[in-house]
Structure 1
Amino acid sequence: MTHHYGYVSALLAALLFGISSTLNKIALRDAHPMIVAGSIYLTAGIVLMLLRFTPLKDKILERFEFKVKTQEHFSRRDLLLLAFIVLFGSFLAPLSFMFGLDKTTAVNASLLLNTETLFTVLIALLIFKEKASRRSILGILLILIGAVVISTENFREVELSKGILGNILIILAGLSWAIDNNLSKLLSVKRDLLLVTSLKGLFGGSALLILASLIGIPFYIPLQSLPYILTVGAFSIGFSIILFLFALREIGAMKTGAIFSTSSLIGAIFAFLILGENFTVIKALFGILMFFGVYLLSLE
């Protein structure tokens, strides 16, 4: 199998995650954001943990063994690493994002959430010393520019001076997810990606729901929202994270994080097809620019 499976996996992860923005909008019409977030992560953990006890487990894991030699066992260091991944990626990041979204505008949040890609690349380059050629840097810049334009519908509505606390929380969410992305690369060499992902979902989802209960948010999910939450949990979080981890294993955090930001384009397309939201020629052109950036990365 060739190295390009890492790029394909990152794009598939972005596709599954991109769908979630549309389905979440439908689910959030009748349920509290923290309850939705916790339920989604918990669903991902339960589905993948159950899958580990079926005959499909070995078949799935065999599909993810290509270039990098994997490890079977977990050490104490790995468990500590998993604890930090859950803390940053499944608890602090969604928590900061939800409270930030409540205190700033949707346009500001969409723009600032792209800091996740920027932070992921910088951490991978400066701290984990991943190598990047000029062509890779150009590809990442094209993807990031495209993501900013697509996720920010009208730059005239961007007012970063408004809702400063909310803006800071959104940036902290991006930083937390970036830390999660880079730390997850260290666990991506484990053979049992189902276990890593299921534990991340179980612990993160449980923590969010417990916190919601402590601050007095009632656990209420209307029946009409349940199919969307289950779909997002199983596929847009669960299987998306597995594909993301495999991409981290194959091509590193820097490239995986950049390619994953194409989920903003996929989300915009699905919002147009399902919700009837606006999808302009400008977005289409910058979407093409993003995929050209992915192509440049794949040439490495």
Structure 2
Amino acid sequence: MTHHHGYVGALLAAFLFGLSSTLNKIALRDVHPVVVAGSVYLTAGVVLMALRFTPLKERLLSTLEFRVKTREGFSRRDVGLLGLIVLFGSFMAPLLFMFGLERTSAVNASLLLNTETLFTVLMAAAVFRERISRRGMVGIALIIAGALVVSTENMGSVALMGNPWGNLLVVLAGLCWAIDNNLSRFLSLNRDLLLVTSLKGILGGTSLLSLSALLGVPLTIPAQSMPYILTVGSLSIGFSLVLYLFALREIGAMRTGAIFSTSTLVGAFVAFLVLGEGFTPLKALFGVLMLAGVYLISAERPAEDSYTG
């Protein structure tokens, strides 16, 4: 087994999550944004919890064990961490993002959501003392630069000062997801990643749907929207979260967070194929630069990538 499995996990997580932007966009035609967010998280939790009671559980968990030693069971600290992760990553972040998106343009939101990667990298370096080589830092810079261009449909339409409150909410959502990313590194050492991710999905989804009910938002989902919500929930959130935690365990929050930004490239390309949205040569060029950045990060020596908690 090599250290590259962590990078493969991060890329697969990014690929699955990248599918969500197009599928969510279709579902949002008929369903309230907060209901979509709550439904996909709850679906993810239910699917993964159900998977834990099948013979596939041990096979999957054994497949995800590589270089880093894992532990069994939940400690009191783990329960506290899970509560914080659900609060920041599965409740506050999607809530802030949806309300921010309502008050600003999609272009601004796509651009500003890349602050999640920046916050994740800075937090991992400053608070959790993760280290990376100069070559790796160049790789991270290429990925962030690529994400800024690929996630923006038209740079000329960016107007960050047009509605500062909406933009601020999106940035705060990015900060909350960055906190989630860095805290999740500790729970990633738990062997049962299916339990960790299923609880995160169930608790976060239930909280969001409960809030929707309190706000008087209709919880009905039309039949034509269900396939998109179920696909996003099970694959783009559920299995993507499992792979993301596996990558956190193997290569740390800094590298995982940076590589996960390639989901913007996947999202842009899938939107081009399915929705006919523009995928310009400039986006293709910066997409190649993002992949070059991934290569620079993954080319580091295995000894530099380990994380033991």
**Which residue does the alignment assign to 2:33?**
33
**Which residue does the alignment assign to 1:226?**
226
- In the TM superposition, what whole-angstrom CA distance separates every residue of 1:57-107 from its partner, at most 9, and x where no partner exists? 000000000000000021011000000000000000000000000011111
- The total of aligned residue pairs comes to 300
Pairing of 1:194-273 with structure 2 (within 5 A): 194-273=194-273
The amino acid of 1:71's aligned partner reads R
Aligned-residue sequence identity (percent) comes to: 69
The amino acid of 2:153's aligned partner reads E
- 1:89 corresponds to 2:89: yes
CA distance in structure 2 between the aligned counterparts of 1:136 and 1:126, rounded to whole angstroms: 16
CA distance in structure 1 between the aligned counterparts of 2:34 and 2:74, rounded to whole angstroms: 31
**Which residue does the alignment assign to 1:277?**
277
CA distance in structure 2 between the aligned counterparts of 1:106 and 1:52, rounded to whole angstroms: 37
- In the TM superposition, what whole-angstrom CA distance separates every residue of 1:210-267 from its partner, at most 9, and x where no partner exists? 0000011011100000000000000000000000000000000000000000000000
The amino acid of 1:13's aligned partner reads A
CA distance in structure 2 between the aligned counterparts of 1:161 and 1:244, rounded to whole angstroms: 33
The amino acid of 2:30's aligned partner reads D
Pairing of 1:1-300 with structure 2 (within 5 A): 1-300=1-300
CA distance in structure 2 between the aligned counterparts of 1:32 and 1:184, rounded to whole angstroms: 28
TM-score, normalised by the number of residues in structure 1: 0.99
CA distance in structure 2 between the aligned counterparts of 1:41 and 1:142, rounded to whole angstroms: 31
CA distance in structure 1 between the aligned counterparts of 2:81 and 2:6, rounded to whole angstroms: 23
**Uncovered stretches (5+) of structure 2, i.e. residues with no partner:** 301-309
Residue 159 of structure 1 aligns to a residue whose secondary structure is coil
**Uncovered stretches (5+) of structure 1, i.e. residues with no partner:** none
The amino acid of 2:86's aligned partner reads V
Residue 130 of structure 1 aligns to a residue whose secondary structure is coil
**Which residue does the alignment assign to 2:304?**
none
Shift of 1:287: 0.2
Residue 65 of structure 2 aligns to a residue whose secondary structure is coil
CA distance in structure 2 between the aligned counterparts of 1:173 and 1:149, rounded to whole angstroms: 20
Shift of 1:156: 1.4
Give the aligned CA root-mean-square deviation in angstroms: 0.5
Residue 217 of structure 2 aligns to a residue whose secondary structure is coil
**4+ residue runs of structure 1 moved beyond 3 angstroms?**
none
